[in-house]
Structure 1
Amino acid sequence: MHNHSKHLPTVREAFLQLMRDLGIDTIFGNPGSTELPMFRDFPQDFRYVLGLQESVVVGMADGYAQVTGNAALVNLHSAAGVGHAMGNIFTAFKNQTPLIITAGQQARSMLPFDPFLFAAQSTELPKPYVKWACEPARAEDVPLALARAYHMAMQAPCGPVFVSIPADDWEKTTDWVVPRKVSRSIAPDPEVLQQVAQALNNAQNPAIVAGTGVDRDGAMDWLVQLAETHQATVYTAPMSARCSFPEGHRLFGGFLPAMREPIVQRLQDHDLVLVLGAPAFLYHVEGHGPHIPPGATLWQIVDDPQIAAWAPIGNSLVSSLHLAIKALLEASTTKKRVPPAVRPRAEPVPADSPMSVAYTLQVLHETRHEDDVVVEEAPGSRGVMQARLPMAGADSFYTMASGGLGFGMPAAVGVALGRQKRGLKGRTIALIGDGSSMYSIQALYTAAQLALPITFVILNNRRYAALQDFAPVFGFAAGEKPAGTDLPNLDFVLLAKGQGLQASRVDNPLNLPEELRIALHAEGPRLIELVVA
């Protein structure tokens, strides 16, 4: 906490001191003209992380905030810059990542004349994918608006917030802002929690469906104990954006798809379905029939009242996951249940040529270090990844909850930065599809400039595989390719070298183990392009 000096600070001075008090010393940005006054006399105890496009900037901040557990500060240009960033603002909203997004606005004295590069309705543009948006009525109110923005971003459910700041506000005088303590967690209603505990204690064969909220709330260890106490099979919720349960654990039951009928089929032997930290359920295609097996009951615990409100069946408890799971554990009674059958491991695949994705991920699993984390955006290969690249548990895996591409590459930069700040060992492995990587390829430049310990693994199958594989669901004939889904002639080694990274390409499976070992043991960032079938 700073000592309040007797002089009245400028908006800039009050803003910087507020950020220090909140533990924020890093600004992710891509500078524009209306933001320049924010950075005059830039202080030495702050770091500016440059991204070469605004969507990259938000993706980096998202990964950094998820790893550090504190809101990340983002600076964008007005209208056009915010527009560029919207894809990853949408993803941050779906990821429930706390971000303070500021955008430069033209000077207040110019606003009556619709000046060049101003935002006409600055607070409306990022909606509805921010929790709160504000352009303060007076320059003097900017620090207070930022304090409010921080608390709103950090309160459950976390998410991005937006403050538009006119360029001439920074030199005005204002008051220091004393940060306040605000609770970030939601405690469970004791009476409802008792009902959940009773249902769990009485169940013959309970299933737990674990989602992103478990890892985000640091509740993984509690969940493992809860599952072991009840001999409950634990499934990963559809489209979970983080590892929700250790995937090598004997009680792990696999991944639920985002489709109604297969979910019911997978859960058919269970009389209780307890959904933790996830929607019940997230669907990707239209389905029919019941949402859970006949005769089963469903309880959901989630920290977002909106998600609790639209659940089509069952009962919901709104709570932070670490508080609820710990309380459930304390209220648990041991009951003799038959342990579920252990999920079979995938059989090894041979080094065929051309290389299969299964083989490349099998070798990646054998080569990586136990401290490495995976940031993934290869939706066409996700099913293979789930079979061949098991995640260890807490803080081991990150992807986007939105389905919006362009998150993975910059998020890997933010994850690596966040891990550095926390003093964590291991590399960040960015597992990215060839199509996905082209949404935010500029992230390679920032990785190179900061010499971060990241290995970018590009799975190059020369197509938008997820779309081609998904086409039959929408009526395409077997083997029929939707228009615009082939991607020939991309050269990721050249793209990487042009931004300062060492890079290699592998198309011979016999070379893969050694090339991956080199890429995963490098000092700084490396890219390895894997040409797969």
Structure 2
Amino acid sequence: MRDYTKWDDQPATVEDFPTSFARAYRIATTEPCGPVYVCYDAGLQEQALERPIAVADVAAGARPTPVQADPAAIRRTAELLASAERPVVVTEFTGRHPEAVRELVGLVEESASALIDLNGRVNFPNRHPQNLTGGDALADADLVLLLDVGDPFRALNELDRLTNEKKPRVPTGCTIVDVGLAELRQSKWAEDLGQFQPVSLSVVADTSLAIPALRTALRSQPARDRGARCAELERKHQRIRERWEKESREDWDASPLTAPRLASEIWSVIKGEDWILTSNTLEDWALRLWDVEGPNRHPGRSFGTATQIGTSIGVGLAYRGTDRLVVDIQPDGDLLYDPGALWTAAHHRIPLLVVMYNNRAYYNDWEHQLRVAQHRGTPKENARVGQEIDDPAPDFAMLARSFGWHAEGPIAEPDKVRPALERALRVVRDEKRPALVDTIVRHRHEKRFR
């Protein structure tokens, strides 16, 4: 476990349990947060206590205070923001502190910055007029402020997946300021920092403190009329949304469904609910077409394979009894790794609405093999080998029913999706138990590889 955790310990005596736990809690919750591992020997657990062991005095106040930025660095960042003509804020994990989202909105508005959300968390309202996620705001930026960006090089450079050529997204001479805790993050077994990105100023700080401090420092800078800049950003935001709306209507009536059609159908059913989306975003179409106004709507994108169903059930369990609707857009390959999780949800009567994102493939690898075939001039039809989940196709609705779920499908016809979702929602709401709708979705980027 040592290679995968921030800290590990095995207390030698029962008397060591409280201090070991207090240290583990402190290390785990110190930013950047991460897992710890504490092993309690079975013999010690079974040992009779000869006297009471005090816990409260040791554990109380164990959580440390956050890391504040160097005041001089905050002042310098404020000066750079105030003097920039086309500032862009790029954020990835700032929304891990919900209160920081409100501060970030204020900073973006007060500095007339464009905002790009990398969606490690929900960091910024997706319909805010200065949110230019999905646009080309970086192309003419004269200042980029990175907030909690895990891999700055990836954020600021574009990768051609066919040639592996990397091209900068920002112009030469653009000032780059990086604020966050990436320099404190380390991995013992894998390099997860990405390629090195030179920056003009690197500020080590918890952004929940740094952003309010930066707003205060920004107010002391000479005032400027930002009206024209904000109006321009709003026009660009609207053009992005119009483009997404147009793209979402392509092949609208196709069977199997397109990802944006499925995202639209789900939204039409849940938009009147107090909903939370657990993990998958249907190739980001949920984030484009839904109204995602704050961090309480989505915990952020998934970072692993075969983890989503467990994450989703965990979210469902956390919100059980709150009357919030928990929605899981569930990839088919991911669920095949842990179908027993369906029994767990049924057994504990976790009210969860699961909509299958079923393209009958491990398509990430399939698409990679298509790219390689295209690059090498080899037969594209061989890309499916080892990647399709078909012949026979798993019947996820039957699987879910066998565990006691309400389930319907498979459904490939777009006009049948909404009625099935409405029936499933009634089961979740009225019977307080899980429901699954198995929807068949076409492979993304099909046209590219024809």
Match of 2:31 in 1: 156
The 3-state SS of whatever aligns with 2:99 is coil
Match of 1:532 in 2: 441
Match of 1:493 among 394, 397, 405: 397
Contact 2:373 2:380 in 1 (8 A): no
Query: Which AA in structure 2 matches 1:180?
Result: A
Distance in 2 between residues matched to 1:440 and 1:278, nearest whole Å: 31
Gaps spanning 5+ residues in structure 2: where?
187-192, 443-450
Distance in 2 between residues matched to 1:393 and 1:322, nearest whole Å: 15
Distance in 2 between residues matched to 1:203 and 1:280, nearest whole Å: 24
Match of 1:313 in 2: 198
Query: CA distance change for structure 1 residues 194 and 395 in 2, over 3 Å: closer, same or farther?
Result: same
Query: CA distance change for structure 1 residues 485 and 351 in 2, over 3 Å: closer, same or farther?
Result: same
Match of 2:332 in 1: 434
Alignment of 1:17-32 (within 5 A): none
Contact 1:377 1:405 in 2 (8 A): no
Matched, 1:515 2:420: yes
| Offset, 1:293 | 2.3
Q: Which is further off, 385-394 or 216-225?
A: 385-394
| Offset, 1:392 | 2.5
Query: Which AA in structure 1 matches 2:275?
Result: D
Contact 1:214 1:276 in 2 (8 A): no
Matched, 1:377 2:280: yes
Contact 1:399 1:408 in 2 (8 A): no
Alignment of 1:60-139 (within 5 A): 126-139=1-14
Match of 1:322 in 2: 208
Contact 1:215 1:395 in 2 (8 A): no
Distance in 2 between residues matched to 1:453 and 1:424, nearest whole Å: 10
Contact 2:406 2:424 in 1 (8 A): no
Give the alignment's Cα RMSD to 1 decimal: 2.6
Distance in 1 between residues matched to 2:277 and 2:149, nearest whole Å: 21
Distance in 1 between residues matched to 2:115 and 2:323, nearest whole Å: 28
Matched, 1:246 2:155: no
| Offset, 1:231 | 2.0
How far does the alpha carbon of each residue in 1:312-342 deviate from its partner, in whole angstroms, 9 at most, with x for none? 2112212222111111122224532312122
| Offset, 1:407 | 1.9
The 3-state SS of whatever aligns with 2:353 is strand
Match of 1:301 in 2: 179
Match of 1:210 among 77, 91, 114: 91
Matched, 1:277 2:148: yes
Q: Which is further off, 423-432 or 204-213?
A: 423-432
Query: Which AA in structure 2 matches 1:507?
Result: A
Gaps spanning 5+ residues in structure 1: where?
1-125, 257-264
Match of 1:267 in 2: 138
Q: Give 1 or 2: higher helix fraction.
A: 2
Match of 1:394 in 2: 295
| Offset, 1:450 | 2.2
Contact 2:405 2:436 in 1 (8 A): yes
Matched-pair identity in %: 24
Query: CA distance change for structure 1 residues 335 and 417 in 2, over 3 Å: closer, same or farther?
Result: farther
Contact 2:315 2:326 in 1 (8 A): yes
TM-score by length of 2: 0.80
| Offset, 1:412 | 1.5
Query: CA distance change for structure 1 residues 357 and 327 in 2, over 3 Å: closer, same or farther?
Result: same
Match of 2:189 in 1: none
Distance in 2 between residues matched to 1:484 and 1:384, nearest whole Å: 28
Distance in 2 between residues matched to 1:409 and 1:184, nearest whole Å: 33
Query: Which AA in structure 2 matches 1:449?
Result: H
Distance in 2 between residues matched to 1:207 and 1:502, nearest whole Å: 46
Distance in 1 between residues matched to 2:65 and 2:372, nearest whole Å: 43
| Offset, 1:255 | 4.4
The 3-state SS of whatever aligns with 2:355 is strand
Query: CA distance change for structure 1 residues 272 and 475 in 2, over 3 Å: closer, same or farther?
Result: farther
Match of 1:471 among 369, 383, 402: 369
Query: CA distance change for structure 1 residues 133 and 411 in 2, over 3 Å: closer, same or farther?
Result: same
Distance in 2 between residues matched to 1:500 and 1:458, nearest whole Å: 17
Query: CA distance change for structure 1 residues 391 and 290 in 2, over 3 Å: closer, same or farther?
Result: same
Distance in 1 between residues matched to 2:334 and 2:153, nearest whole Å: 22
Distance in 1 between residues matched to 2:419 and 2:86, nearest whole Å: 46
| Offset, 1:376 | 2.2
Match of 1:108 in 2: none
How far does the alpha carbon of each residue in 1:63-114 deviate from its partner, in whole angstroms, 9 at most, with x for none? xxxxxxxxxxxxxxxxxxxxxxxxxxxxxxxxxxxxxxxxxxxxxxxxxxxx
Contact 2:78 2:218 in 1 (8 A): yes
Matched, 1:344 2:224: no
Matched, 1:332 2:218: yes
Query: Which AA in structure 2 matches 1:273?
Result: V
Query: CA distance change for structure 1 residues 447 and 248 in 2, over 3 Å: closer, same or farther?
Result: same
Query: CA distance change for structure 1 residues 255 and 499 in 2, over 3 Å: closer, same or farther?
Result: farther
Distance in 2 between residues matched to 1:298 and 1:396, nearest whole Å: 30
Matched, 1:225 2:118: no
TM-score by length of 1: 0.68
The 3-state SS of whatever aligns with 1:331 is helix
